Amino acid sequence: MILPQHLRNSSPWLSDFGRLFDTAFQRASQGPRGLRIHDSDDHWTLEADFPGTPKEDLELEVRDGALHLGIKSNDELTNSYRLPLGKQVDPSGISAKLELGVLSVTLPKAKASTETHRIEIN
């Protein structure tokens, strides 16, 4: 699995996410050569290697509670992956960049609500 041991048990979602990426990219003929997930206090960073792939050949979007990654070849979508985000990720803050063949996707952690509000019973 791509996750270091100290992250495997830190979050069931993170462990499932890593396992899902492992499975998806093992089957991809043009999938990344390396995949890493870094955990920080307020976000996860997913890094995937796409050497020689221009950013125009990668499509990344959030739809239906999942991160969708599409890889194009000759202007046709050849591989696509759907990765459920779960409630631990704030989808509105996801960002990505491709630099020197490395796709970095920042997945902000959803803030747990610590607000208390009284609910009136009718």
Residue 32 belongs to some domain of the structure: yes
pTM: 0.67
Element (H, E) at 15: helix 12-26
Instruction: Give per-residue pLDDT as tens, 47-90.
Output: 988 888 898 999 999 998 888 888 888 888 888 877 788 888 88
Residue 18 belongs to some domain of the structure: yes
Instruction: Give per-residue pLDDT as tens, 18-58.
Output: 655 555 444 444 445 677 888 899 999 989 888 888 989 99
Residue 118 belongs to some domain of the structure: no
- Predicted pLDDT of residue 106: 94
Which CATH number characterizes residue 79's domain?
A: 2.60.40.790
Q: Print the domain residue range for 99.
A: 5-108
Residue 117 belongs to some domain of the structure: no
Number of domains in the chain: 1
Residue 113 belongs to some domain of the structure: no
Cα angle, residue 27 at apex, residues 11 and 17 outer, rounded to 5° = 10
- Report CA torsion sign: 83, 88, 93, 94: negative
From CA 118, how far away is CA 116, in angstroms rounded?
7
Q: Tell me the pLDDT band of 1, cut-offs 50, 70 and 90.
A: very low
The tokens for 38 are 């870094």
